[in-house]
């Protein structure tokens, strides 16, 4: 006789909070087949490419996925590490360090990480948190500046997972943290650490990932969030307006994207007489292809070719202690009223057990 599986919910189970850090994603390997799988998932997301599927799919499958994977694989190979993709390595380490931080503060929180595209998937990690007894889950998209192309897509995937669940955990999520004090402080500390080691350059360029300009006219706040982050960071560093500028990178396709574009900005700064340029990417919480290859390698070539003399790429937040502290602060605030102290768990379980026994005896509670 086939036995029925045990129900997911067990009476008397101590409450536990789960935190899921979600980044964009990365291929599993720097090879054309792996990149093709990754791009197929990424570029099929209608939050990312807002072109009718009937028009877009023939272009995606008939042209892009036939030509782009090999070129992109070569770029990934240039920044791949013995541990794997830098984005995967840093995101995993951020989750591990955040776990250590909340545990050290006595909070009964389980931290995991996922990728919107690729692995580990959001669904598999939500399953793991639920199996670990987390009935309250905070989703933390690792995009400081909100955009429908990124944060909203993460929440789409979370909602798809919820549709397949019978017993739903409570879900909260962080919409954006572009102006969070801890985040701005972490950015400033990263820049100041670089200055302490390498000296201060003539100019600091902040390069954010670009999105199509039409997203701004449709109401997406991303453009405004980027400018606010830049302003707050400039103030925190005490920089004059002439010593700081902002640009948008990673343009794809022929449509107009948010301006100014990073590559022409690099050329203009060199021609303007900036000799020592330092460039930083505040919108990326972890170094990845777009920062290590597009900015650190290609950007340097563009700037030096245009007449610049020195070009410094300042690493992303990665595992900087100030960033882990900022993440801890974000998590603690957004789990307010949820997080149970680890030393309170046994007593909570005992009280729940007593309540259930009283109910079984028909007592009034």
SS3 24: strand
Token output for 116: 């919107």
Residue ranges for the known binding site for Fe(2+) are 209, 290
Q: Which CATH number applies to 16-178+321-345?
A: 3.40.50.1400
Spatial separation of the C-alpha atoms in residues 212 and 258, rounded to whole Å? 6
Give the pLDDT score at 10. Answer: 60
- Average pLDDT for runs of 10 along the chain of length 365: 50 80 98 98 96 95 96 98 98 98 95 98 98 96 98 98 96 98 98 98 98 96 98 98 96 92 98 98 98 98 98 98 98 89 55 52 48
Strands (E) across 261-309 are located at 276-280
Asked if residues 350 and 358 have their Cβ atoms less than 8 Å apart, the reply is no
Nearest to 232 by CA among 280, 184, 290: 184
Give the pLDDT score at 364. Answer: 44
DSSP state of 297: I
Token output for 92: 């995993």
Q: How many CB atoms lie within 10 A of CB 179?
A: 14
Residue ranges for the known binding site are 209, 290
Spatial separation of the C-alpha atoms in residues 160 and 330, rounded to whole Å? 25
Give the pLDDT score at 171. Answer: 98
Give the pLDDT score at 344. Answer: 56
Give the pLDDT score at 8. Answer: 56
SS3 73: helix
Q: Which CATH number applies to 181-313?
A: 3.40.50.1400
The reported pTM is: 0.90
φ, ψ of residue 168 in degrees (nearest 5) = -90, 135
Say yes or no: do domains 16-178+321-345 and 181-313 share a fold: yes
337, with CB counted inside 10 A (0-12, 13-18, 19+), is: exposed
Q: How many CB atoms lie within 10 A of CB 304?
A: 15
Residue found under tokens 């100030």: 322
* Sequence ranges of the domains in the chain: 16-178+321-345, 181-313
Give the dihedral of Cα atoms 78, 83, 85, 88; nearest 10 deg.
Answer: -160
């Amino acid at each position: 006789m086939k036995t029925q599986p045990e129900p997911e919910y067990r009476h008397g189970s101590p409450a536990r909070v789960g935190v899921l850090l979600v980044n964009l994603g990365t291929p599993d390997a720097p090879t054309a087949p792996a990149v093709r799988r990754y791009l197929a998932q990424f570029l099929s997301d209608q939050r990312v490419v807002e072109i009718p599927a009937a028009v877009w799919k023939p272009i995606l499958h008939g042209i892009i996925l036939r030509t782009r994977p090999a070129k992109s694989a070569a770029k990934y190979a240039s920044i791949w590490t013995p541990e794997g993709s830098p984005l995967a390595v840093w995101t995993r380490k951020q989750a591990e360090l955040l776990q250590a931080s909340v545990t050290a503060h006595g909070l009964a929180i389980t931290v995991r990480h996922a990728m919107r595209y690729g692995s580990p998937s959001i669904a598999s990690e939500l399953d793991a948190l639920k199996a670990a007894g987390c009935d309250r889950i905070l989703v933390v998209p690792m995009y400081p500046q909100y955009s429908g192309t990124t944060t909203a897509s993460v929440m789409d995937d979370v909602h798809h997972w919820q549709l397949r669940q019978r017993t739903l955990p409570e879900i909260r999520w962080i919409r954006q943290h572009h102006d969070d004090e801890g985040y701005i402080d972490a950015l400033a500390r990263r820049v100041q650490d670089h200055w302490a080691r390498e000296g201060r350059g003539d100019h600091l360029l902040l390069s954010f990932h670009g999105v199509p300009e039409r997203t701004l006219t449709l109401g997406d706040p991303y453009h405004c969030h980027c400018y606010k982050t830049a302003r707050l960071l400039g103030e925190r560093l005490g920089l004059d307006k002439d010593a700081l500028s902002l640009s948008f990178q990673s343009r794809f396709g022929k449509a107009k994207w948010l301006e100014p574009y990073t590559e022409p900005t690099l050329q203009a700064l060199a021609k303007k007489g900036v000799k020592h340029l330092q460039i930083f990417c505040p919108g990326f919480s972890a170094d990845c292809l777009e920062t290590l290859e597009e900015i650190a390698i290609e950007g340097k070539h563009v700037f030096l070719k245009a007449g610049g003399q020195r070009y410094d790429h300042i690493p992303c937040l990665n595992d900087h202690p100030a960033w882990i502290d900022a993440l801890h602060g974000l998590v603690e605030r957004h789990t307010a009223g949820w997080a149970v102290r680890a030393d309170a768990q046994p007593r909570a379980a005992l009280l729940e057990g007593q309540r259930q026994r009283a109910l079984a005896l028909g007592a009034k509670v």
